């Protein structure tokens, strides 16, 4: 489903070139549960953003469902992102003036789906994440765990094939973190491809497949079935 071939991503900082990704090769099957671990600055977020089409590689080829997506225009990439990919961020990134329900509705609005079709879908995901009684709350009225659950609801309301999570528990206490991980794993059980960046060894080791990064290199990009 996901194919990365010789992916490089360089950042120019002054007269220095930072190799955030250095010849990354990676194949991920649909429905996999992958964790990406590694020290800070090793390129984990850069990789995840690239997978989510928020960033473009400096060189290399990225195929999503067999299609070369590196050559797509910004607009085409945005459409793929809207349909196929869900994001969960460490900082939640909820729009503060919108209620939980309205935040979840956003990707459907951007997809041009009419309100009468949106409502049942939003209600269903909120119900599934036990947020129905919080649907009119603003983000500031929600706990960290609830906020992240709203963010997960938003990421999954479009039924994407891939869910990308960048340190989803980084801003949560242990218990809420555990809840969030369980929710994500549950989604994976039901078929979504889950790719999660974490620097927490314990959490990372729950994944069936664990990737380790160091200085922009993927240490074990190939399949690791004994994990």
Q: Is the CB of residue 126 less than 8 Å from the CB of residue 153?
A: yes
Please state, in angstroms and rounded to a whole number, the distance separating the CA atoms of residues 76 and 223.
Answer: 30
Please state, in angstroms and rounded to a whole number, the distance separating the CA atoms of residues 40 and 64.
Answer: 27
Please state, in angstroms and rounded to a whole number, the distance separating the CA atoms of residues 106 and 154.
Answer: 7
Please state, in angstroms and rounded to a whole number, the distance separating the CA atoms of residues 61 and 70.
Answer: 6
Binding site for other proteins (CB under 8 A): 49, 52, 54-55, 74-75, 78-79, 81-83, 87, 89, 91, 93, 95-98, 102, 106-107, 109-115, 154, 158
Give residue for tokens 């960290």. Answer: 144
Q: Which of 7, 26, 33, 45 binds ligand ADP (CB under 6 A)?
A: 45
Binding status of residue 13 toward ligand ADP by CB under 6 A: yes
Planar angle of CA 10, 15, 19, nearest 5 degrees? 20
Binding status of residue 18 toward ligand ADP by CB under 6 A: yes
With CB atoms as reference, the residue minimizing the distance to ligand ADP is 45
42-61: which residues touch Mg ion (CB under 5 A)? Answer: 45
Q: Is the CB of residue 98 less than 8 Å from the CB of residue 140?
A: no
Please, what is the minimum distance in Å from the beta carbon of residue 157 to Mg ion?
25
Binding status of residue 70 toward Mg ion by CB under 5 A: no
Binding status of residue 54 toward ligand ADP by CB under 6 A: no
Binding status of residue 225 toward ligand ADP by CB under 6 A: no
**Residue (103 or 188) nearer to other proteins, CB:** 103
**Residue (101 or 166) nearer to ligand ADP, CB:** 166
Binding status of residue 35 toward ligand ADP by CB under 6 A: no
125-144: which residues touch ligand ADP (CB under 6 A)? Answer: none
Using CA atoms, how far residue 37 sits from 170, 178, 200, 201, 213, in Å, is 13, 17, 8, 7, 6
Instruction: Give the H/E segment covering residue 186.
Output: helix 174-189
Partner whose footprint covers residue 145, from Mg ion, other proteins, ligand ADP, none (CB < 5 to 8 Å by kind): none
List residues binding Mg ion (CB under 5 A): 45
């Amino acid at each position: 489903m996901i194919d990365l071939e010789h992916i490089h991503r360089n950042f120019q900082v002054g007269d220095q070139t930072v190799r955030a990704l250095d010849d990354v090769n990676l194949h991920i099957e649909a429905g996999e549960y992958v964790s990406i671990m590694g020290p800070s600055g090793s390129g984990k977020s850069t990789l995840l953003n690239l997978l989510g089409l928020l960033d473009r590689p400096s060189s290399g080829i990225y195929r999503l469902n067999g299609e070369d997506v590196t050559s797509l225009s910004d607009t085409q990439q945005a459409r793929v992102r809207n349909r196929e990919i869900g994001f969960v961020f460490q900082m939640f990134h909820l729009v503060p003036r919108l209620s939980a329900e309205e935040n979840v509705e956003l990707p459907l609005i951007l997809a041009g789906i009419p309100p009468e079709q949106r409502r049942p879908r939003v209600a269903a995901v909120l119900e599934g994440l036990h947020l129905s009684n919080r649907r009119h709350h603003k983000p500031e009225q929600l706990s960290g765990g609830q906020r992240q659950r709203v963010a997960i609801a938003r990421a999954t309301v479009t039924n994407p094939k891939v869910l990308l999570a960048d340190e989803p528990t980084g801003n949560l206490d242990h218990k809420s973190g555990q809840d969030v991980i369980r929710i994500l794993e549950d989604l994976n059980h039901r078929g979504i491809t889950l790719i999660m960046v974490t620097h927490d060894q314990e959490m990372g080791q729950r994944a069936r497949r664990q990737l380790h990064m160091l200085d922009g290199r993927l240490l074990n990009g190939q399949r690791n079935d004994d994990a």
